[in-house]
Amino acid sequence: MKKFKNSEITPEKIYYKRRSFVKSIGYSLSAMTLCSVPLIKANASNSNNLTSYKDITTYNNYYEFGTSKSDPYINAQNFKTKPWNITIEGEVDKPINISMEEISNEFTSEERILRLRCVEGWSMIIPWMGFSLSQLLSKVNFTSKAKFVEFESVYDPEQMKGQRYPVLNWPYKEGLRLDEAMHPLTTVVTGLYNKKLPNQNGAPLRIFIPWKYGFKSAKAIVKIKLVEKMPTSSWMWASPREYGFYSNVNPNVDHPRWSQATERIIGNNIFSPRVKTLMFNGYGEEVAHLYNGMDLKKFF
C-alpha cells in the first residue's frame, strides 16, 4: 500500500487543475474519439455546463428516504439536521465529538467542481462546497493500527421512513483505505451551488470521493471510525459480487449486470449519446498512484 505524502499534491493544485479540466476539455476529448462530429459539438457544449441545481437536488439516491430518484427530494424536506454532532473514534489516541457549529467555524468551505459518476451509469458535474477530509482528521492522532476509515450515516427510522424496511443493513456504512481518506480530493461536503447542503444531498455533512462510484460518498454522517480491518460497507454486505470495497470508477470492469464503459450525463437531452467513462472518473492523474501494482479487476 502506498502511503500518501502530503507534499505530493496540494488541494489548491488539484482544484484549479480539475476546474480547468472540466471547463476546457473534460468529456469533449473522450467523446471525440468515440463519436461523429455533430455529436461531439453537442457533447462539448454540454460538458462545459454544470448540472443544474434542479437536477442535482431532485434526482437523488438516498435510500433512507425511499428508493425512487424523486423520493429524497420529497421525503427529506423536514429532516432535522440541528443539532448535529460527529464522532471521530476507533484507532485514535483520544476520540472526539464535534458539532456542526464547531466544524463550520473551524474549516473554510471552498467551491470544488467535481464529477459524480453513479454506479448505475449516469453522471453529474457538481459545484460542491467543502474541504478536505484530511483537515478534519487532523484533529485526532491515529494509533499505529489505523489502516482504514469507516463512515456511518445517521440511524433515525422515525424520520427516515426507508430505514423501517430492510432494503440495506442500516445505518448506511462506507469505508476507505486510510491513504484514500487522506487524499486531498476526498471531500467533506457542506454545500453546493454556494448554498447550504440540501437535505436530499446529505445535509448537514456528507463525504464525496470523486474517483469512486457515488455510493461510496455517504450522506448525513455521524461517525468516522479509524479501524484496523477493511470495513464491510452496506453495499458489500448486500451484494459482495456486485459491489467491491474499492469501487473505483473503471470502464474496464463491468458491473455483473451491466457495462460501465459509458455513461449518461444528467441534464443532456434524451437524444444525446452516452459518453465514454474515464478511468478513475477522470482523476487518474491525481489518484492512480494509490493503486500502483494492484489488480483493479480483482480489487474492484
Binding region for ligand MTE (CB under 6 A): 60-64, 116, 118, 153, 172, 201-202, 214-215, 217-220
> At its nearest, how many Å lie between ligand MTE and the CB of residue 300?
16
> At its nearest, how many Å lie between ligand MTE and the CB of residue 259?
17
| DSSP structure class, residue 113 | E
Q: ∠ CA 246-261-270 to the nearest 5 degrees?
A: 120
Nearer of residues 154 and 182 to ligand MTE, judged by Cβ: 154
Residue 190 in contact with residue 204, Cβ under 8 Å?
A: yes
Nearer of residues 30 and 201 to ligand MTE, judged by Cβ: 201
Q: Which three cell numbers stand for residue 176?
A: 476507505
Report the distance separating Cα 127 and Cα 52, nearest Å.
10
Nearer of residues 121 and 273 to ligand MTE, judged by Cβ: 121
Q: What is the length of the chain?
A: 300
> At its nearest, how many Å lie between ligand MTE and the CB of residue 2?
27
Residue 188 in contact with residue 132, Cβ under 8 Å?
A: yes
> At its nearest, how many Å lie between ligand MTE and the CB of residue 151?
9
> At its nearest, how many Å lie between ligand MTE and the CB of residue 141?
28
| Sign of the CA dihedral with 94 first, then 95, 99, and 103 last | positive
Report the distance separating Cα 132 and Cα 134, nearest Å.
5
- Residue 259: which of 271, 274, 280, 245 has the closest Cα? 274
Report the distance separating Cα 100 and Cα 95, nearest Å.
16
> At its nearest, how many Å lie between ligand MTE and the CB of residue 273?
22
Helix (H) or strand (E) holding 125: strand 122-132
Nearer of residues 30 and 153 to ligand MTE, judged by Cβ: 153
Helix, coil or strand: residue 187: strand
Q: Residue number with the shortest CB distance to ligand MTE?
A: 214
Nearer of residues 9 and 116 to ligand MTE, judged by Cβ: 116
Nearer of residues 62 and 148 to ligand MTE, judged by Cβ: 62
Nearer of residues 53 and 107 to ligand MTE, judged by Cβ: 53
